[in-house]
A and B are shown apart, each in its own frame.
Chain A
């Protein structure tokens, strides 16, 4: 029988709050930037409303580059930028910029894919009614793809949870930080188990809420 003698619950609770805060804040920025980037990727792609092969190729390349760099390395690489934005590269604040930079291209691709699922015929029907391109984005693309976008937000939130755990490596705070400091460096396995269990619960909860929302808003 394992005793949880090393576990200090107030500290665990603070770390959980930090994780939730990092995840939520970076998710909000990721949704804003990723939605814009995803819409631009979609609209400039082949045979779409703003078809711009060069713009698409450049954006697509940048997205691919950012997505191929492992998160831990990306975090270290953009430290100077993080310092300029938040004044620090440590703690909860210091981890938000790298989280957003890593998650935005990922989310943008998911947005692009969701928008591609929108029936061409519906876009044409809107054009035939005299809709402008902006009308089409607002009333057709975003609305028709909303279940897909909700699913994309869910996946991104889950991904961000695992990224926040990694940001513990450079003193980012949160549950990952705790697991690393106590579990790995001081061999307090009980602390590590508790933090891992909490991360699992968090991911389960996020996925369940996301799935429920997608089901609730699907019309097909």
Chain B
């Protein structure tokens, strides 16, 4: 139905969700609006209890928003009857932190389940299940039961099941939070692959910044039920504005220097940001070479965000004011972002 990237696939408009706990109303999600583009991987990050799961579950209406509207593709889900909603949900796959597989069914039957619900013929079901087993590399385990699988394998079954009906969207509720780091990476790689090869849009929630950094294009930060920051991952990562965002960015920064240490330095402190191929060039050295300015690197990260390399250094420059200005001008000319700390 949709074949162009850049279209708005998911639109959440003024979503609110409150729960009545005893006589008190708890606002789990407050007035959230956001749009997910066709083909992107969109991440929502927040601390435990921030309202991530509630918000994600509003997208397929497992949770009915107290107010606001949810549109997926060109269908407003919030206006549908139960029957219509059940049909639309087949276009929205979902995977879970604890996998939620049928414990009494084999891997094959678990993957076949959504196809059975969609009333496909036995032959069609078998053919599709074989394709999916191959996609998630579980051909060897087709006849095992979930209890006989590792966490990573269980999540692969979850992914295959979620993709069975060729959905437009995949919702991921902390899909890697129950997995060890290595398995997490393999599941994240699979999600990237699915996004790139099948063009499936992914909306994920997590409390781990490395998940966002590894696979997301855009990110929203949620705190106490509200979106406090939203944008391209690179931009949010390098220039976090909200304190909660800074916390998350610090999760993955190599924190060689703390505030105290930086304040004690005598020279001029600069934060330099490289993006793309610049990351691997000897720009700093080239800039100071013609001058008598010396430098010390106090803190630094060189890494990769999805496919983009980036680096961020906090550097102390020692020397005359005029020469330091010349160095800064040179760095900027080369395309670095430089700002005083």
Contact = CB atoms under 8 A, between A and B. Distances in A.
Contacts of A73: none
B90 interface: yes
A142 to B, nearest CB: 10
B103 A130 contact: no
Contacts of B96: 121, 124-125
B187 interface: no
Nearest to A219: B145
A124 B158 CA distance: 13
A135 interface: yes
Interface stretch (B68-76, B109-117, B123-131): B109-117
A132 interface: yes
A124 B95 CA distance: 11
Contact of A128 (B62, B98, B104, B105): B62
A39 B254 CA distance: 55
A131 interface: yes
Q: Chain A interface residue count: which class?
A: 20 to 34
A186 interface: no
B92 interface: yes
B100 A146 contact: no
B94 interface: yes
Contacts of A140: 102
A132 B81 CA distance: 12
A152 to B, nearest CB: 16
B105 A143 contact: yes
A146 B145 CA distance: 15
Contacts of B87: 130
B92 A128 contact: yes
A129 B102 contact: no
A128 B94 contact: yes
Interface in A122-171: 122, 124-132, 135, 139-140, 143-144, 146-147
A119 interface: yes
A147 B145 CA distance: 15
Contacts of A126: 113, 117
A119 B86 CA distance: 21
B122 to A, nearest CB: 15
Interface of B: 60, 62, 86-90, 92, 94, 96, 98, 100-105, 113-114, 116-118, 145-147, 161, 165, 171
Interface of A: 119, 121-122, 124-132, 135, 139-140, 143-144, 146-147, 217, 219-220
9 contacts: A119-B100, A121-B98, A129-B114, A129-B165, A130-B89, A131-B117, A144-B102, A146-B104, A219-B103
